[in-house]
Amino acid sequence: MSSLIREPSDVSRRRFLQVMGASMALASASGCHWETEEILPFQRRPEGRVPGTTRRFATSIECSGVAASLLVTSYDGRPIKIEGNPLHPLDRGAASARSQAAILDLYDPDHSRGLVQAFEGASYPRSWKEFDPWFAGHMAQVRARKGAGLRILSEPSSSLALASLRTRLAELHPQARWVEWEPCARTNKIAGSKLAFGRALRVQPRIEQVNTLVCLDADLFGLHPAALANARAFAARRRPEEAQPLRLWVVESSLSLTGAAADQRLALRDEQILPFLLALEARLAGGKAADGLFLESLADELLAQRGAALIAVGPRQPAAVHALAHRINANLGNTGKTLLYSEESDPAGVMELGELAREMEAGAVETLVVLGGNPVYDAPCELEFRRALRHVPLALHLSHYRDETSRACTWHLPRAHALESWGDCASWDGTRCLQQPLIDPIFPRRTPLELLGAICEAKLGAPELVRACVAPGASDEQWKKILHDGFVEGSAARPVEAALASFSVPAPAPRALAKELRNGELELVFAPDRNLYDGRSANNSWLQETPDAITKMTWGNAAIFAAETAAALGVEDSTLVKLKLGTRELEVAATVLPGQATGSITLHLGHGRSAAGLVGGLEQENIETVGFDAYRLRSSDALDRAGSLEVMPTGKSWQLARTTDPAVTDSIGRKQMEGLVEELARVRTLADFRKEPGSERESEHESLWNKPVAEGVRWGMAIDLNSCIGCNACALACQAENNVPVVGREQVIRGREMSWIRIDRYFTGPERSPRVRFQPLTCQHCESAPCEEVCPVAATMHSAEGLNDMVYNRCIGTRYCANNCPFKVRRFNYFNYHKAIEAEGAEVQRMLYNPEVTIRHRGVMEKCTFCVQRIQAAKIHAKNEGRAPADGEIVTACQQTCPTQAIVFGDLADPKSRVARLHAESRGYAMLAELNIGPRTTYLEKLVNPHPALEEHDG
């Protein structure tokens, strides 16, 4: 997939004669006969395998030591789509955008395909056959020295199998040390709980119990390891029929998904959150009226909601803030009701990365085995990890990609993809998840378990080891059950009693920065990217091109400024600025975003990879890096934020590949936009709704012709804006399901992105505390679709079931339909965006395609089909059983993965169907109904629940 995105960008640069030649070649090379397809069945078909049908397997994938439980669809034994595991207690069928995108990595041509040994500056391809005996010999020597000089650098993992190997390693190599590094670790949380309780504890929020949810820089619905479950619970508590609907208070420096969903949001500089919380605690303890109406009202509500409130703190906040939050929660009696504590893995006895770096510099490390991770890229900059590695005679890096670290080590070992691996891991609630492969490694790749097994001469192979560790003494039947479910039932961690220790938090010296912005004392906040996380997904073109939920930015990051800050510093949107921290400088793009705290600048991690691959950037092959590498400014003493930032505008302009905003920079546009948004993406306060439930709907005007009455099924959709949190999961699901191509940065800048479902994001209200509206937009399959009547060749028409069908091979590409579509959901193939994948040598990449969906070529229009292939599959299935498909049996890709179940699909003709009932709901309205196009999608108003006092204060 990845390399295909180079194509269009090249085209613009391609020289003319080449093209002439190419076109001639194209004509001749392709031959002039129909291609003949051959069918290759198995001699002995495995039981339960029916050609042309899909099968599903439960497995899981681990990120930062937390599992996501997945259900993977496999076609002909090829995994083609990742969904959430419906049985899993937390995920319940939902999967995050990043989990779903993992399928792309499996077939990514950059995903490492062989061993590489670096020797005297040159690198040589190697095979395991060569490696294994040599390595065994080497390890024997190491063992003779009791493992002196052996260091294992690993990502934190919740795998029991890995743990068991680790203990065995300790026996075999007593001198060896185990090191863990994770750029976005939970260090602060653990430290906080230790401060509050003297032990490492993990907070298990029980949002279904919460009436007042306070998030201090905590992105519960975005980056939190249990975001899916949190979001689902949140959405459930927001339903208008809820007697006591939840109110969400957010205090943060930069808009997060949680902040976007907030009823009351306060943009506060990161470093101001500790003072804020101190003030709050003081006020709750009956102290005098603290400063600020916000804090006042919050305190009152917290007191009123004793035992039904929850104060959550984000991982970036220092230990003190976490400790305070624990204490407040305890004092308000929330503990045990709105949140539970469970054991958190305590990294005690694990070596710090810094210590390791020093050892390496000192030459004390002879053999360094790096299991995953990419420290050369993401280690604190002052450690100079790349330089340190030069002092290590033998450094092996087991990784998915031949990344920065691999290239700095003496050996790169290809790591098997999660869908090729046996393993185990635990989800946030401690549930033990299984990892079973869906396909034998496509290339000779290995898992950390296998490599570590080799190091400590494990007797068991990976599958046996996993079984032995996860389900010792389980019968075959029980084991099969576990594999079938994908997790061990009822293995969630038990809640533990947490006794509060007494501690005091000194108030930090307040800096009077809020008012006048003193350059050089600005705050720089490092946040993991919502799509690329810490950078591990930087070579995933799907995630690169999925617009960031808030900034709507693709292909790169930018330093986020508040309008005030930008004005004060003379920084403009889409320009380059220089960020200076002490002696370190970095030139990055700047963007201005509402809801950003004044004086606080946020920069997302995970971009600017120099050796990610053809997508994320590869210096060695002159493929420019995407975005800017924030790690260059990130040092151990300021992993989360730095307080002494200096910003210097350079005046150079920089194109940001955004999918919306750039068009609306003029006052007229903004005014119109704000006017329209009230109509298009409707928001009302819960109070208003309760007073007057009906949302006013545009009366359809009288039709000029008598519309034919549709009989039979009428497929339709309902999207609840009240539930949507803009997490992009649906976008990824659609991309994977429908073979939606990636077009690349230049094309996105030209406005030619191909996404079939896009999430419109609007800001309204005051710049500092904007109201954020998300609106997922697919084809509305209008009853009298404007696109159909204008197509000169009838390439788009209505199906018997009322779908607005797009007939690709009839389309000649006049693009008239797209002009006439008021929703602009139609996408045109300006080039053949699949060219690279159809080229020779891309056989593996092609395995990703959903065989049930046509691949569209250049010159044809395409758009959301309501997943017609899924509709047909369900209908066939039902027909085989001699019945009609039941309501809820047909599930579109976007609906399936939506964690908050904001999307519902079904038959409008059946009044009992869920979708029909939602269409009838009082919150329902159709977009642009006044155009008489009769959209088949009904949106349900978003209801916000602002604090009365603050509401009138704002308005």
Partner 1 sequence: MSEAQGALHSLVAEFDDVDGVSAAARAVRDAGYKAFDVYSPFPIHGIERSMGLRATRLPWLVLACGLTGTVLALFFQWWTNGHDYAFKISGKPLFGVPANIPITFEFTVLLAAFGAFFGMFVLNRLPEHHNPLFENERFRRATDDGFFLAIEARDAQFHERATRELLQSLTKHTVVACHESGESRALPVWVRASMAGAGALALVPLAAIVAARYRDSTQAPFHLIKDMDSQTRYRAQAANPFFADGRAQRPDVAGTVEFDRFRTDPALLTGRAGEAFVDQIPLSVTAELMQRGRTRFAVYCTPCHGGAGYGDGLVAQRAATLQEQAFVPPASLHDPLVRARPAGQIFDTIRNGVRSMPAYGRQMSIEDSWAIVAFVRALQRSQNASVEDVPDAERGRLGTR
Partner 2 sequence: MTASATTKVRLDEPYHRPLLIEGAEDLASVTNRVCGVVERPKPPRAWYIAITISGSMTLMLGAMVVYLISTGVGVWGNNAPAFWGWDIVNFVFWVGIAHAGTLISAILFLLRQKWRTSINRAAEAMTLFAVCCAGMYPAVHVGRIWVAYWLFPVPNQMQMWPNFRSPLLWDVFAVSTYATVSALFWFMGLVPDLATLRDRATTKLKRVLYGFFALGWRGSARHWQRFERAYLLLAALATPLVLSVHSVVSFDFAVSQVSGWHTTIFPPYFVAGAIFSGFAMVVTVMVPARELFGLKELVTLRHLENMNKVILATGSMVGLAYATEFFIAWYGGNPYERFTFVNRAFGPYAWAYWIMIFCNVVVPQFFWSKRIRTNLWLMVVVAILVNVGMWFERFVIIVTSLARTYLPSSWGYFKPTWVDVCTFAGTIGLFFTLFLLFCRFLPMVAIAEVKTVLPAAHAHKENGHE
Site for partner 2 in 828-857 (CB under 8 A): 828-832
The item of partner 2, partner 1, none sharing an interface with residue 931, based on CB under 5 to 8 Å by kind, is: partner 2
Using CB under 8 A, pick the residue from 279, 282, 505, 664 that binds partner 2.
664
The residue within the footprint of partner 1, chosen from 15, 33, 494, 691 (CB under 8 A), is: 33
Asked if 695 contacts 941 with a C-beta cutoff of 8 angstroms, the reply is yes
> Please, which residue, 27 or 285, has the CB nearer to partner 2?
27
Q: How far is the CB of 171 from partner 1 (least distance, A)?
A: 28
- Rounded to whole angstroms, how far apart are CA atoms 556 and 111? 21
Question: Residue 212: which residues within 8 A CB-CB, separation 6 or more?
Answer: 246, 247, 249, 301, 302, 305, 308, 309, 310
Q: Which does 484 bind (CB under 5 to 8 A by kind): partner 1, partner 2, none?
A: partner 1
Count of residues touching partner 2 (by CB under 8 A):
69
| Main-chain phi, psi angles of 689, to 5 degrees | -60, -45
* Alpha-helix runs per DSSP H in 242-313: 257-261, 273-284, 293-304
Q: Which is nearer to partner 1, 584 or 798 (CB)?
A: 798
In the complex, least distance from residue 780 CB atom to partner 2, rounded to whole angstroms: 11
Residue 775 in contact with residue 760, Cβ under 8 Å? yes
DSSP state of 335: B
Stretch that binds partner 1, among 28-36, 230-238, 571-579, 874-882 (CB under 8 A): 28-36
* Residue 824 within binding range of partner 2, rule CB under 8 A: yes
The pattern of x and - marking residues 674 through 713 that bind partner 1 according to CB under 8 A reads -------------------------------xxxx-----
Among 146, 387, 390, 484, binds partner 1 (CB under 8 A): 484
Could you tell me which residues come within 8 angstroms of residue 781 by beta carbon, excluding any fewer than 6 positions away? Answer: 715, 716, 717, 802, 803, 804, 866, 935, 936, 937
From residue 924, give the alpha-carbon distance in Å to each of 668, 920, 938.
Answer: 30, 7, 6
Neighbouring-strand partners of residue 584: 581
Answer yes or no whether residue 777 interacts with partner 2 by CB under 8 A: yes
850 binds partner 1 (CB under 8 A): yes
Q: Tell me which residue of 674, 618, 34, 561 sits closest to 269, measured CA to CA.
A: 561
For residue 844, state whether it binds partner 1 (rule: CB under 8 A): yes
Give the separation between CA 266 and CA 246, rounded to whole angstroms. Answer: 18
Question: Rule CB under 8 A: which of 738-797 touch partner 1?
Answer: 739, 783-786, 788-789, 794, 797
DSSP class of residue 529 equals: B
Q: Which residues have CB under 8 Å from 73's CB, separation 6+?
A: 54, 55, 56, 79, 80, 81, 82, 83
| Residue 690 and residue 618 in contact, taking contact as beta carbons nearer than 8 Å | no
Q: What is the closest distance, in whole angstroms, from the C-beta atom of residue 743 to partner 1 in the complex?
A: 18
Beta carbons within 8 Å of 860's beta carbon, 6+ residues apart: 808, 809, 811, 813, 828, 829
**Nearest-5° angle of CA 273, CA 275, CA 277?**
65
Which residue among 120, 171, 241, 440 contacts partner 1 (CB under 8 A)?
440
Binding mask 909-938 for partner 2 (x = CB under 8 A): -------------------x--x-x-----
Q: Which does 760 bind (CB under 5 to 8 A by kind): partner 2, partner 1, none?
A: partner 2
Task: Give min distance, CB of 857 to partner 1, in A.
Answer: 5
When asked if residue 820 is in the footprint of partner 2 (CB under 8 A), the reply is: yes
Cβ closer to partner 2: 29 or 122?
Answer: 29
Q: Which is nearer to partner 1, 2 or 209 (CB)?
A: 2
Give least dist CB 603 to partner 1, A: 40
* Residue 208 beta carbon to partner 1: minimum distance, rounded to whole angstroms: 27
Residues 75-94 that bind partner 1 (CB under 8 A): 75-78
User: Shortest distance, CB of residue 449 to partner 1, whole angstroms?
Assistant: 15
Using CB under 8 A, pick the residue from 244, 672, 703, 872 that binds partner 2. 672
Which of partner 1, partner 2, none does residue 101 bind to, with CB < 5 to 8 Å depending on kind? none
How far apart are CB 414 and partner 1 at their closest, in Å? 17
Number of neighbours of residue 47 by Cβ within 10 angstroms: 5
| Segment 130 to 169, residues that bind partner 2, using CB under 8 A | none
Tokens of 638: 């300021």
The C-alpha atoms of residue 212 and residue 215 are separated, in whole angstroms, by 10
Which residue, 455 or 727, has its beta carbon nearer to partner 2?
727
Tokens of 72: 């993977």
Of the listed pieces 155-163, 274-282, 489-497, 842-850, which binds partner 1 according to CB under 8 A?
A: 842-850
Q: Is 16 in the site for partner 1 (CB under 8 A)?
A: no
Q: Is 203 exposed, middle or buried (0-12, 13-18, 19+ CB in 10 A)?
A: buried
Compute CA distances 140 → 360, 426, 453, 454, whole Å: 22, 33, 14, 11
CA distance 228 to 601: 28
Binding residues among 52-71 for partner 1 as defined by CB under 8 A = 52, 55-58, 71
For residue 677, state whether it binds partner 2 (rule: CB under 8 A).
Answer: yes
- Structure tokens belonging to residue 110: 């950059």
Q: Could you say whether residue 847 binds partner 1 (CB under 8 A)?
A: yes
The least CB distance from residue 482 to partner 1, in Å, is 9
Q: How far apart are CA 485 and CA 57, in angstroms?
A: 9
Q: Which does 145 bind (CB under 5 to 8 A by kind): partner 2, partner 1, none?
A: none
Least Å distance, CB 824 to partner 2, is: 4
Tell me which residues in 906-945 interact with partner 1 (CB under 8 A): 934
Residues 717-746 touching partner 1, rule: CB under 8 A, are 739
Among partner 2, partner 1, none, what does residue 52 contact (CB within 5–8 Å per kind)? partner 1
Phi then psi for residue 861, to 5 deg, are -85, 150
User: Shortest Cβ distance from residue 731 to partner 1 (Å)?
Assistant: 21
Query: Contact 290/507 with Cβ under 8 angstroms?
Result: no
Find how far residue 30's CA is from the centre of its chain.
40
Out of 17, 32, 509, 668, the residue judged to bind partner 1 by CB under 8 A: 32
Query: Is-contact 822 928, C-beta < 8 A?
Result: yes
| 171 φ/ψ angles, rounded to the nearest 5 degrees | -65, -50
For partner 2, the closer CB: 794 or 884: 794
Instruction: Return d(Cα 69, Cα 61) in angstroms, integer.
Output: 7
Among 190, 860, 867, 871, interactor with partner 1 by CB under 8 A: 860
CA 368 – CA 558 distance, rounded (Å): 35
Distance CA 255, CA 267 (A): 8
Contact residues for partner 2, defined by CB under 8 A: 8, 11-12, 14, 16, 19-20, 22-23, 26, 660, 662-664, 666, 668-669, 672-673, 675-677, 680, 747, 750-753, 758, 760-762, 775, 777, 786, 789-794, 810-816, 818-824, 826-832, 858-861, 928, 931, 933
